[in-house]
Amino acid sequence: MATVASKLYSDDGSLLVLLLDTNPLFWSNTSTTFSQFLSHVLAFLNAVLGLNQLNQVVVIATGYCSCDYIYDSSLTLSGNSESGRTGMPALFASFLEKLEDFIVKDEELIKEQEHDERIASSLLSGSLSMALCYIQRVFRSGHLHPQPRILCLQGSPDGPEQYVAVMNSIFSAQRLMVPIDSCYIGTQNSAFLQQASYITGGVHHAPKQLDGLFQFLTTIFATDLHTRSFVQLPKPVGVDFRASCFCHKKTIDMGYVCSVCLSIFCEHHKKCSTCGSVFGQSKLDGASTVSEKKRKAPDS
């Protein structure tokens, strides 16, 4: 009986892998508190789980120095009802416990690191990779599995130094046909998330009002993949396709690309710093001087 049910519902059961940004530097500088944010997210997760019996939720925390699995709805035992003093469901209690452990560990890791010169970005590449690993394991478990999708709840700015790793994760997700939805709650614009959603066919949205986050989440990101084809979801007007250069980690829209290893540079180098290929004189420079000369000729 159970197999019949799962067969019947396998097209709208979904596996939601939520990447939760727990970057302390972001949360200390933002208008809403982390606790408010968490209550919105927890309510959203509860809603997703309630939408369909077969829905599954996995939460991965994206920290400043590390990432870890925080919560997996398939592992928690439903009978375990440790409704503590606050009247909170067991699910949330274990979730918060794990999250606290993670943050303590993350803080310890930062003590070990001596050079703290990074931009205040989270380890998005790490959590994306972990999500894809989890999804890959689900794919290999058999034919009947909920349809996976990834939702990035990100607030901290992009870390250009993660560019290659993030892009590789995005392309892996594209290969696996796993859409990456992204909800950017930070103040800047995240090119990574825009590209991730664009390439994988997910939804990108940057809500302006964080006190209405729950509404945004349930309206935009709660629908399963099958239902999406019938729903008008916000579409981005444009996508920020910029890449970061390898030499200064700057986000650039025009630059030099090594013809051997495809490294990107913001300025002309004599030698590729990645693979050591020696570049010739750029033809472009020569051509422009020639055209300069040409343009001047008729006047003189």
Partner 1 sequence: MSDWQVKYKSTVKDRGARGILKLREGMLLFVPNDPNSDSKLKVLTPNIKSQKYTKEGSNKPPWLNLTNKQARSHIFEFENYQDMHACRALITKALAKCEEEPNKPAAVLTSAEQLSIADLELRFKVLRENSELQRLHKEFVETKVLTEDEFWATRKKLLGKDSIRKSKQQVGLKSMMVSGIKPSTDGRTNRVTFNLTSEIIFQIFAEKPAVRQAFINYVPSKMTEKDFWTKYFRAEYLYSTKNTAVAAAEAAEDEELAVFLKPDEILAQEARQKIRRVDPTLDMEADQGDDYTHLMDHGIQRDGTMDVVEPQNGQFRRSLLQDLNRHAAVVLEGRNIDVDSEDTRSVAEALARVKQVSKADGETTKDANQERLARMSRVAEMEDLQAPQNFPLAPLSIKDPRDYFESQQGNVVNEPRGAGTLKRNVHEAYGSLKESILEIRTKGLSDPLIKPEVAFEVFRSLTQTISTAKNIIGKNPRESFLDRLPKSTRDEVLHHWTSIQELLKHFWSSYPITTTYLHTKAGKLKDAMSNSYSQLEAMKESVQSELRHQLSLLVRPMQQALDAAFQHYDADLQRRAAKSARGSAGEANGSV
Alpha-carbon distance 168 to 106, whole Å?
Answer: 24
Three-state secondary-structure class, residue 71: strand
Q: Rank residues 8 and 260 by Cβ distance to partner 1 and give the closer one.
A: 260
**Contact (CB, 8 A) for 125 and 131:** no
Q: Rank residues 12 and 118 by Cβ distance to partner 1 and give the closer one.
A: 118
Only one residue has tokens 């998330």, namely 193
What one-character DSSP code corresponds to residue 149? Answer: E
Q: How far is the CB of 291 from partner 1 (least distance, A)?
A: 18
Q: How far is the CB of 197 from partner 1 (least distance, A)?
A: 14
Q: How far is the CB of 246 from partner 1 (least distance, A)?
A: 6
Q: Rank residues 176 and 247 by Cβ distance to partner 1 and give the closer one.
A: 247
Q: Rank residues 9 and 214 by Cβ distance to partner 1 and give the closer one.
A: 214
Q: Rank residues 212 and 286 by Cβ distance to partner 1 and give the closer one.
A: 212
Q: Rank residues 44 and 134 by Cβ distance to partner 1 and give the closer one.
A: 44
Q: How far is the CB of 110 from partner 1 (least distance, A)?
A: 6
**Contact (CB, 8 A) for 200 and 168:** no
Angle at 210 between CA 207 and CA 216, to 5 degrees: 50
**Contact (CB, 8 A) for 21 and 155:** yes
User: Which one, of 156, 128, 158, lies nearest residue 243 by Cα?
Assistant: 158
Alpha-carbon distance 131 to 173, whole Å?
Answer: 10
User: Which one, of 267, 236, 272, 240, lies nearest residue 254 by Cα?
Assistant: 267
Structure tokens at 21: 């940004």
Straight-line distance from the first to the last Cα atom of the chain, in angstroms, rounded to the nearest whole number: 90
Structure tokens at 193: 């998330």
Q: Rank residues 55 and 156 by Cβ distance to partner 1 and give the closer one.
A: 156
Q: Rank residues 84 and 286 by Cβ distance to partner 1 and give the closer one.
A: 84
Q: How far is the CB of 96 from partner 1 (least distance, A)?
A: 5
Q: How far is the CB of 86 from partner 1 (least distance, A)?
A: 4
Q: How far is the CB of 113 from partner 1 (least distance, A)?
A: 10
- Site residues (vs partner 1, CB under 8 A): 22, 24-25, 27-28, 33-36, 38-40, 42-43, 64, 85-88, 92-93, 96, 99-100, 103-104, 106-107, 110, 115-120, 161, 163-165, 207-209, 211-212, 214-216, 219-220, 232-237, 246-250, 260-261, 263, 273-278
Strands 243-244 and 251-252: antiparallel
Q: How far is the CB of 249 from partner 1 (least distance, A)?
A: 5
Structure tokens at 29: 């500088």
> Residue 11 — φ and ψ, nearest 5°?
-85, -20
Residues 6+ apart with CB under 8 A from 294: none
Alpha-carbon distance 68 to 98, whole Å?
Answer: 10
